Amino acid sequence: MRLSQVIPITLLAVAGLGHAQQPTLETLLARLGEQAAAFDRSLPNFSCLQTASSDELLPGKKNEPPRVLRHVTFTANLRVRRGADGQLTEAAEFLTVNGQPFTGGGFTMPAYAQGGFRQALAYFLPGQQACYRYTLSTDRIDFEGAPDAAKLPGCRSVGVRGFVTLDPTGNIQHLERRVTAQGTALYALIPFAQVDLAPVTLNDVTYQLSSHMVSERPNGKFLDRFESTYTNCKLFTASVTLGPASDAP
């Protein structure tokens, strides 16, 4: 299950946000576009401690809570690297599974969502803004796929709708988005995801990175749910030690 295009971005403070003079939607979209593009280009390799749970749920009847059929918890070192093609990829080094040290081998999770750090908020990239319709209300921007998005090259917005909220300094602090069955089939996206963002400084630059993520996907009569938190994010570095020179036969 892929989370795909859901995710974090660094925004500069928006002058006037929270004051009597509110920025216009056009101003916000221009700034969001600039910052999304910069984030997409400049985010360095980094790693975070991932703490997650994966559940298969059977929805309850009426007001009954869902019944947990399978439940898996784990911790991992999540490494996010930029490949030769410029795209971010994620790789998890598992540390514990269900509270026990992970000693290798495989284990089965009901759901696993990845891609939380793969892109900046694609919904605001300059090349994507024609794919959506935006509505501003105080500190919230709602977005949905434009009616003619299917005819526009590069758009991945059919059946997509969601919103972001901005904090008093103008940074995106929360994202939610839903995808219809049509959009899910077209783009292999999960139907529902939400992300909370928090500032992280890497190479003396502060980025808004994912701090908490929830995703849900219907699976027949069941519901797959994945929840993850990301802490202790820092630059990912690797060291190489060279031994003394020696002759080889």
| Residue 203 predicted with pLDDT over 50 | yes
d(C-alpha 71, C-alpha 115), whole Å? 22
Work out the pLDDT band at 6, boundaries 50, 70, 90: very low
Phi-psi region of 74 (alpha: psi -120 to 50; beta: other; left: phi over 0): beta
Distance CA 143, CA 20 (A): 24
Rounded alpha-carbon distances, angstroms, from residue 48 to 67, 213, 241: 31, 14, 24
Enclosing domain of residue 162: 25-231
Which residue would you say has higher pLDDT here, 120 or 82? 82
Mean pLDDT is lowest, of 81-95, 122-136, 215-229, for: 81-95
Report residue 26's pLDDT band, with 50, 70 and 90 as the boundaries. very high
74-82 average pLDDT score: 93
Q: Is residue 245 part of a domain?
A: no
Residue 18 has pLDDT above 60, yes or no: no
Q: Is residue 101 part of a domain?
A: yes
More confident residue, 248 or 3: 248
Which pLDDT score, from 0 to 100, does residue 13 have?
37
pLDDT bracket for residue 189 (50, 70, 90) = confident
Q: With CA atoms as reference, report the closest residue to 8 among 52, 64, 46, 59.
A: 46
CB-based burial of residue 90 (10 Å sphere; 0-12 exposed, 13-18 middle, 19+ buried)?
A: middle
pLDDT reading at 164 higher than 50:
yes
Three-state DSSP at 28 gives helix
Residue range 66-95: average pLDDT?
91
- Tally the domains of the chain: 1
What whole-number distance in Å separates Cα of residue 165 and Cα of residue 234? 25
Q: Is residue 18 assigned to a domain? A: no
- Residue 209 CA to residue 198 CA, distance in Å, equals 6
Mean pLDDT for the stretch of residues 64-69: 91
Is the model's pLDDT at 24 over the cut of 80?
yes
What pTM, to 2 d.p., does this model score? 0.82
Q: Is the pLDDT of residue 100 over 90?
A: yes
Residue 61 lies in a domain: yes
Give the span between the Cα atoms of 117 and 120, in whole angstroms: 8
State the average pLDDT over residues 117-142. Answer: 88
State the average pLDDT for the chain. 84
In a domain, 91, yes or no: yes
- What token pair was written down for 17? 């946000």
Q: 210 and 227 in contact (C-beta within 8 Å)?
A: no
Q: Which tens digits make up the pLDDT trace of 207-235?
A: 888 899 999 999 999 999 999 999 999 99
| CB distance 39 to 120 below 8 Å | yes
Per-residue pLDDT of 236-247, as tens digits, reads 876 556 666 666
User: What would the mean pLDDT of 34-58 be, rounded to a whole number?
Assistant: 90
Residue 8: what pLDDT? Answer: 34
* Phi (first) and psi of residue 194, to 5 degrees: -140, 145
What number is the average pLDDT over the span 119-139? 88
The arithmetic mean of pLDDT across residues 84-99, rounded, is 90
Look at residue 51 and tell me if it is in a domain.
yes
**CA nearest 97: which of 82, 107, 110, 112?**
107
pLDDT at 120: 53
11, 149, 169, 247 from 224: Cα distances, Å = 32, 29, 35, 57
